[in-house]
Amino acid sequence: MLDAFGTGTGETADADDELDRLSTREQEVMRMIARGYAYKEVAAELFLSVKTVETHVSNVLRKLQLSNRHELTAWALSRRLL
Dihedral angle, C-alpha 12, 17, 19, 23, nearest 10 °: 160
Q: What is the pTM of this model?
A: 0.79
Q: Which pLDDT value is given to residue 76?
A: 94
For 37-81, what is each residue's pLDDT tens digit?
999 999 999 999 999 999 999 999 999 999 999 999 999 999 998
At 11-33, the pLDDT tens digits run 556 667 888 999 999 999 999 99
Which domains does the chain carry?
A: 10-78 (1.10.10.10)
Binned at pLDDT 50, 70 and 90, residue 2 comes out as very low
Distance CA 73, CA 9 (A): 21
Please give the pLDDT value at position 73.
Answer: 95
Cβ-proximal residues to 16 (8 Å cutoff; 6+ apart), any chain: 7
